[in-house]
């Protein structure tokens, strides 16, 4: 059986490791972007916010919005399967 102190220590270690990875990634991005002088391509972003069963979908262009819609449908199907099909004993 796993000791509870071991689980707590593992959780703290994972959080510290995550913070270190974020810090290192930020430093690498800053040092990389300061050396570039020419413009690169535009940023494309999109996402889905689920408020209960209602998805709110947004995106910067049509392609990203379509991908977000597909991901929202997949997320709703997975939620249905987890909560209503396999959640009953």
Q: What is the pLDDT of residue 80?
A: 82
pTM over 0.85: no
> Taking 80 as the threshold, does the pLDDT of residue 86 lie above it?
no
Q: What is the DSSP string of 35-73?
A: T--S--PPP--EEEEEETTEEEEEESSHHHHHHHHHHHH
- Rounded to an integer, the average pLDDT of 70-87 is 82
> 20-75, pLDDT tens digit by residue?
999 999 888 888 766 555 565 677 888 888 887 778 888 888 888 898 899 889 88
The domains of the chain are located at 1-36, 46-85
How much of the chain is in helix, strand and coil states, percent to nearest 5? 60, 15, 25
Decide which of 13 and 88 is more confident: 13
Q: Are strands 54-59 and 46-51 parallel, antiparallel or unpaired?
A: antiparallel
Which pairs from 4-9 meet CB under 8 Å and 24+ separation? Answer: none
Structure tokens at 4: 């509870």
């Amino acid at each position: 059986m796993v000791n509870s102190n071991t689980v707590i220590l593992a959780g703290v270690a994972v959080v510290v490791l995550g913070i270190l990875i974020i810090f290192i990634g930020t430093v690498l991005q800053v040092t990389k972007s300061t050396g570039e002088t020419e413009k690169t391509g535009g940023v494309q972003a999109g996402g889905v916010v689920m408020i209960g069963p209602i998805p709110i979908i947004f995106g910067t262009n049509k392609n990203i919005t379509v991908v977000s819609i597909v991901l929202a449908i997949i997320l709703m199907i997975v939620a249905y399967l987890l909560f209503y099909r396999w959640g009953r004993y």
